[in-house]
Structure 1
Amino acid sequence: MAASGVSESRLPLLDDTVDGSVDYKGRAVSRFSSGGWRSASFIIGVEVAERFAYYGIESNLINYLTGSLGQSTAAAAANVNAWAGMCSLLPLLGAFVADSFLGRYRTIVVASAIYILGLGLLTLSAILPSISSSGCENTNKIVSCSHQFQVILFFFSLYLVGIGQSGHKPCVQAFGADQFDGQNPEECKAKSSFFNWWYFSLCAGTLVALWMLNYIQDNLSWALGFGIPCITMTIGLVIFLLGTKTYRFVIKGDERNPFLRIGRVFILAIKNWRTSSSAIAIEEEAHGTLPDKSSCQFRFLNKALLAPDGSKEYGKLCSVNEVEEAKAVLRLGPIWATSLVYAIVFAQPPTFFTKQGVTMDRSITPGFSIPAATLQSFVSLAIISFLPIYDRIIVPIARSFTRKPAGITILQRIGAGLFISAISMLIAALVEIKRLRTAQECGLVDMPNVTIPMSVWWLVPQYALAGVSNVFTMVGLQEFFYDQVPNDLRSVGLSLYLSIFGVGSFLSSFLISAIEKATGGDGRDSWFANNLNRGHLDYFYLLLAGLSFAALAVYMYFAKSYIYNKGNRT
């Protein structure tokens, strides 16, 4: 939205100006009249609306697929994971569009409009069954065609929502963090807290969705359950637009496309792979790159300092800054890869955890039972309860010992969450073992539609631990992938964080399909049998716990040797 230059008129006082930022008209901005928590509040508003809409769909989607659309448990879980994976992977494309062409502000506006359109069509697809049943009761062919059209429209709308999120998700948080000046001591501290309270606000929106929308969807109407998120998202976009005049827009340091700039480093390094080490050493000494420890890592990229023909003609070689940017991006790879198992575990609450809850006693009063999907609210409740404790108590205590602004390093925070996540899967396995034993003792193994006399509150610990692990790992990953990339690529950094959960969801879907095929067939009940009383989710959870501990060990190895970028928080 902002221009690349700054007009000479209406400039604030020099000591009042925020370096590297302009307002929506391209003018220099005052520190006290722009940015900060005031601007961040508008941005948080649209993201709360988006999370309300997203979880209003995703949290109960498996019940809609197995109920209204008649899919099997395994097929529905795979479809939920595939859609969630796409929603987390497409932000890479949205980040590319934002950082290379539209900018974060415009991308958020366009993506929100697409999001609203998808939600509107999703609501329409849920209305169709009532239309078809009223006019086609005696014509099976027409009813069948209408149902097929409903399914097509539903999945088209669902993936249109994913496309809208692809531009929305990587930009909103980065744009919010842009409202704080990292070079100012006070704003730097506020920026660190921003990631905590950002996640707190999102979980509050998610909690409302889980309590309100799941009840409406299960007891009143799916059309209403999809329509309310559409209205909420529209209101969120209006709130975001109202804050336009207060926003800070970061000026790009290099007008060249950041993707092409970094990609060129890898291309030149590959072209120069035969270059002698002595030639590279001479060039490194000339640029002064060797004394820095980070410059010695991924040293093969230093070959991009020479042109392919060995000359030093300007325009044919990369600068030291460009090479260091490429190294910073490459350095993220091991952390990204070792977080994938955490993402697989993250995919379980809206799928198999929810299906477990359906089979258990969910009654609160004689005439009222909570929807199974609402149990996911305990993840949000744990986050909302624990985040203030972490931000206001744990961090200050840790800071007094470590002298670090954030108390502990970002990677230590992520690692703690990975450990808690592994423990949550062990507990989930133990609870499932008890559920299966209870079904067997009560003679309900072959009665999947009969409620097992075991309170659904047994599932609360695994949900709560999932929430606590999110406080450490989710928020830590957000801050890590924002801080450890070049300024021009911060939308890409956050999209890389999101892609962890996209790939993790696809891996979860693949794992479910592979296990379903390996353990089912020939009259056998698979681990994910439609009758969960004959399935073995306990085996699946134990498998995930084992994978989690193995991934944690590998993560600790790479985290220990990780070199933080210069000037970024640790």
Structure 2
Amino acid sequence: MSPSHQSSLEVGDSPDTTDKKIPIVETEQSPQLIAPRDATDEEIALHPHITDQVPLSAWIVILAGAAERACYFGIIAPWQNYLQNPRQQGSVPGALGLGQSTATNISNAFFLFSFLTPMGFAVVSDVWLGRYKTLMVGLLVYLLGCLLLTLTSLPIALKHGSGVIGFVWAMILIGLGAGCVKATFFPFLGDQYIQKKAKLVTQKNGKLAIVDATRTVQLIYNIYYWFTNFASLVIIAVTYLEKECDFWVAYLLCTSCLCVAILVLVLFSSKLVKISPTGKNNLPMATKAILCAAKNGFKLENAKASHQTSQKSKQVPWSDSFIEEMKRGLMACRVILCLLIFYLCINQIFNNLVSQAGQMDLHNVPNDMIQVFSGVACVIFGPVIQGLYSLLAQRKISFGPIARITAAFMVCAGAMAYAAGVQKLIYQTGPCYEYPLACEASYGGTIPNQISVWVQLPVYFILAVAEIFGFVTASEYAYSKAPKDMKAMVQAIMQLTACVASALGMALSLVSKDPKLVVMYGCLAVAMAISGVLFFWKFRRYDEKEDEMNKANIQEDDENTDKCRTPVQNEETP
């Protein structure tokens, strides 16, 4: 939704009202002007839903997040070339000369590591430091890794053999920092919007509408995703710096972007919503509740305190509402775990698709710059898809998170099928056919197969649409369904899914070599399509319960408002 549409809403604090509200129905002849107030269930069902204004604190966090993502994308974009190709040989830049299979393996190992680390940071965030402080610690570790990578990619460092060991240590530090960001950033961004109840408001055109908190959070995540993809255009500068100057210059630019992210969060710290950590680790209690459910017919309903008291005469340390939160959290985890193949396919952008571009006629464009078109496509399609969501909501057409993720799966399957077709065309083209850059006719890897790299371009546009439907929805779903004191933990489970996908990618690296790449992309396409069908068949009923679950979340948030949340609240270490 455009800023002009957002600013047209007049949203304020709710006036005192009676417990029983009579739903207001407007007529074309005389639309009623009312002060904004909490909406009744009847009004929520009757009036169109719109988004609220995005608060300043959310814009600040989005800006910092975009700068961090610019660093991340810029750092990993040249990795395949940096690892795969030897220095100053052939038409493609390089440094360490480890080969495609090893480079892909190392790339997947980094993703695996960075997706494993969020779990520990999630516990620290939810229990001890809070999301803001944990995020800042992670960013500082991240910065150390970027500085180390920049220094060890200097020509003098590479000449003295520091490249590999420097890269390994930089990868560890960057993986820790990126893992911390993955665990804490999305919950921290969601925290910036504190309004949870649906509000009945009068728009400037005199018509009544419902300010929908769920759709507003969805909008915030979509805006963030748009900004991060705009930030990913730094890849253009990075890849040209890599090609025309050197890798260390490219990495220096990325390090500067991370400094901007840290500076923004420090300077505007007082403007941000910071939720104090509870000081209580609910993970052991959640584990005990699950074990209790396992002993009682594998039903969480039977683990409720009321059931244990009435049926077993047993006292348990958790409440019924805690079990209800857990049920929604586990529901989100089941959905998130199904993103496994999706993550595996998206990861191809950073390794095998880069190598595929290197086998084609680049027309003097760096092979690792082509992936930037995924970000360009997201910048283009992001507002279009957000507009589609708004249009469907105004017409009361349901397009729930399960349907959106299913759409992401099927679109992603199409992208992998197209990539298989491109690889087939490469193998059918000379001079090296099924062994690009490896035959004598390539003159030492300087002459690729004579097919234009722009044939590959649609892969990135298709994957961009899949990412918008998939990643944004999954992040929003993980935040909205997670228990209030375990939001970073559920976000970490999402990253754990990506970790397993990276492990699969490492196994896949065994066939990530010519002439097996057509089969590899084809298998990914089939696996993704099957996953989409099974996912929708298994979870489609969750969309039917979406409004009911969101309402329950709002009620539980209200119960804890005085304890946990204020518009601007400093975290205090317990």
Deviations 1:32-57 (A, max 9, x none): xxx94311122112211211111112
Tell me the CA shift for residue 88 of structure 1: 2.1
Q: CA deviation at 1:300?
A: 5.1
Residues 1:158 and 2:171 aligned together: yes
Question: Given residue 103 of structure 2, which amino acid in structure 1 is its aligned partner?
Answer: A
Verify the 8 A CA contact 1:217 1:225 in the aligned structure 2: yes
- In structure 2, what is the equivalent of residue 235 of structure 1? 260
2-side partners of 1:467 and 1:413: how far apart? 14
Match of 2:361 in 1: 361
Per-residue CA distance 1:80-132 (angstroms, 9 max, x = gap)? 011012212311221111011110010111111111111111111112x4257
Are residues 1:65 and 2:91 paired?
A: no
The one-letter code sitting in structure 2 at the alignment partner of 1:155 is V
In the TM superposition, what are the counterparts of 1:128-527 in structure 2 within 5 Å?
A: 129-131=155-157, 133=159, 146-147=160-161, 149-180=162-193, 181-183=195-197, 185=199, 186=211, 188=213, 189-208=215-234, 210-250=235-275, 256-270=280-294, 273=295, 298-299=300-301, 301-302=303-304, 306=308, 310-313=312-315, 316-363=316-363, 369-392=364-387, 394-402=388-396, 408-439=399-430, 446=439, 447-448=441-442, 449=445, 450-513=447-510, 515=511
Alpha-carbon distance in structure 1 between the residues aligned to 2:454 and 2:299: 50
Q: Letter of the aligned partner of 2:381 in structure 1?
A: F
Secondary structure at the residue paired with 2:454?
helix
Structure 1 unaligned regions, length at least 5: 1-12, 18-34, 134-145, 278-295, 364-368, 516-527
Is residue 2:126 matched to residue 1:99? yes
**What residue identity is the alignment partner of 2:460?**
Y
Change (3 A) 1:488 1:42: same
Matched, 1:536 2:516: yes
Matched residue, 1:27: none
Listed one character per residue, the Cα deviations across residues 310-337 of structure 1 (whole Å, up to 9, x for unaligned) are 4434xx4431112222222222343223
Q: Does the 8 Å contact 2:96/2:163 carry over to 1?
A: no
Distance 1:378 1:239 in 2: 27
> By how many angstroms is 1:72 displaced?
1.9
Cα separation, partners in 2 of 1:309 and 1:469, compared to 1, 3 Å: closer
Structure-2 residue corresponding to 1:43: 61
The match for 1:545 is 525
Q: Tell me what 1:112 maps to.
A: 139
User: What is the identity percentage for the equivalent residue pairs of Structure 1 and Structure 2?
Assistant: 21
The C-alpha deviation readout for 1:370-414, integer Å capped at 9, x for no partner, is 11111111111111100101112x11321233355xxx1011111
Task: Please give the alpha-carbon distance, in whole angstroms, between the structure 1 residues aligned to 2:319 and 2:409.
Answer: 37
Instruction: Indicate how the Cα distance of structure 1 residues 240 and 453 shifts in structure 2: closer, same or farther if over 3 A, else same.
Output: same
SS at 1:218's partner residue? helix
Q: Secondary structure at the match of 1:348?
A: helix
Quick one: distance in 2 between partners of 1:172 and 1:16?
Answer: 34
CA contact (8 A) 1:49 1:205 kept: yes
Task: Name the SS for the 2:407 alignment partner.
Answer: helix
Q: What is the alpha-carbon root mean square deviation over aligned residues?
A: 2.8
> 1:98·1:167 contact (CA, 8 Å) conserved in 2?
no
AA of the residue aligned to 1:57: I
TM-score by length of 2: 0.77
Distance 1:224 1:132, change over 3 A: closer
Conservation of the 8 A alpha-carbon contact between 1:88 and 1:501:
yes
Helix, strand or coil for the counterpart of 1:130? helix
Q: Do the aligned residues in 1 keep the contact of 2:293 with 2:300 (CA within 8 Å)?
A: no
Q: Which whole-Å CA distance do the structure 1 matches of 2:243 and 2:282 have between them? A: 47
Shift of 1:542: 0.5
Q: TM-score, normalised by structure 1?
A: 0.77
Amino acid at match of 1:457: W
State the match for 1:20 in structure 2. none
Partner SS for 2:318: coil
> For residue 273 of structure 2, what is the amino acid of its counterpart?
R
Find the aligned partners of 1:390 and 1:301 in 2 and give their Cα distance. 41
3-state SS, counterpart of residue 429 of structure 2:
helix
Distance 2:475 2:117 in 1: 17
Gaps of 5+ in 2: 1-11, 17-52, 86-94, 200-210, 555-574
Instruction: Work out the CA distance in 1 between the residues paired with 2:537 and 2:233.
Output: 36
Shift of the 441–256 alpha-carbon distance from structure 1 to 2, 3 Å rule, reads closer
Change in CA separation of 1:155 and 1:16 when aligned onto 2, cut-off 3 Å? farther
Q: Distance in 2 between matches of 1:346 and 1:308?
A: 50
Q: Distance in 2 between matches of 1:246 and 1:356?
A: 46
Tell whether the 8 Å contact from 1:306 to 1:317 is kept in structure 2 after alignment.
no
8 Å CA contact retained: 1:266, 1:304: no
Q: Check the 8 A contact 2:427/2:433 in 1, yes or no.
A: no
Q: Is the 8 A contact 1:420 1:468 kept in 2?
A: yes
Aligned to 2:38: none
Aligned positions, number: 475
Q: Does the 8 Å CA contact 2:239/2:366 hold for their aligned counterparts?
A: yes
Render the CA deviation track for 1:270-299: whole Å, top value 9, x for unaligned. 5xx2x6x7xxxxxxxxxxxxxxxxxx9644
- Are the equivalent residues in 1 in contact too, given 2:123–2:281 (CA < 8 A)? no
Aligned partner of 1:567 among 542, 551, 567: 551
Equivalent pair of 2:332/2:477 in contact (CA under 8 Å): no
Q: Does the 8 Å CA contact 1:36/1:179 hold for their aligned counterparts?
A: no
Which secondary structure state, in structure 2, belongs to the residue aligned with residue 494 of structure 1? helix
